[in-house]
Structure 1
Amino acid sequence: MKLASLVNDLQYNESRPTVQVLLETETGKEIRIAFKEGQVMKEHKTPFSIVVEIFEGAIDFGVNGNIYNLKKGDLIALGGGIPHDLKAMETSTVRLSLNKADSAKRVEDVVKNS
């Protein structure tokens, strides 16, 4: 059994989103991304399918030129290889579910390059 929290030890960075791996299981990884209002993750893509949950706040999620205004409680699933971007419309906490074969470092690199 593993236990994690989306709210405990939540930290924000002034210049870019904060990425933290919360859980790693035999099938996947659960990652928390903490955004301050206005912070972005520039367009990127993942080699595997992902699920994104807006745990708190509001995110503009861009896919193929369309913007989806996601708010607290919303989920979005996206296949691998699809370019997407995120912009925090307010201070937000996002849960990202990754395939086990995907890398948390890849997510951190996207944030560093945004």
Structure 2
Amino acid sequence: MKTASLTNDIVYHKKRPTIQVLFETETGKEIRIAFKKDQVMKEHKTPFPIVVEIFEGSIDFGVNGKLHSLHKGDLVALEGGVPHDLTAIKDSIVRLSLNKADTAKRVEDVAKNS
């Protein structure tokens, strides 16, 4: 059994979203992304399907140029290869579920380059 908390030990970076791997399993990775209001993850693609949960706050989630307003409790499933971007409307916590073959470093690089 593995446990983690989406609310404990949150660190917000002043200029970009903060990425933290909560845990890995045999099939995937659970990642927390902490956004301050107005922080952005520029358009990017993932090689594998993902699931995004808005745990706290609100995010504008762009997919193929179309904007979707997501709020606390909303979930999005996205296939690999689909361009998407995120902008925090207010301080937000996002849970990202990745395929085991995907890397947290890829997500960190997107945040660093946004």
The residue that corresponds to 2:104 in the other structure is 104
The residue that corresponds to 2:4 in the other structure is 4
* AA at the equivalent of 2:101: A
* Number of matched pairs: 114
The residue that corresponds to 2:81 in the other structure is 81
Identify unmatched segments of 5+ residues in structure 1.
Answer: none
SS in 2 for 1:2: coil
Aligned-residue identity in percent: 75
Alpha-carbon deviation of 1:65?
Answer: 1.2
Show the 5 A alignment for 1:44-55: 44-55=44-55
Q: Report the Cα distance in structure 1 between the residues aligned to 2:39 and 2:14, rounded to whole angstroms.
A: 9
The residue that corresponds to 2:56 in the other structure is 56
Q: Report the Cα distance in structure 2 between the residues aligned to 1:15 and 1:101, rounded to whole angstroms.
A: 28
TM-score by length of 2: 0.99
RMSD: 0.3
Identify unmatched segments of 5+ residues in structure 2.
Answer: none
Q: Report the Cα distance in structure 1 between the residues aligned to 2:85 and 2:59, rounded to whole angstroms.
A: 10
Q: Report the Cα distance in structure 2 between the residues aligned to 1:64 and 1:12, rounded to whole angstroms.
A: 28
SS in 1 for 2:59: strand
TM-score by length of 1: 0.99
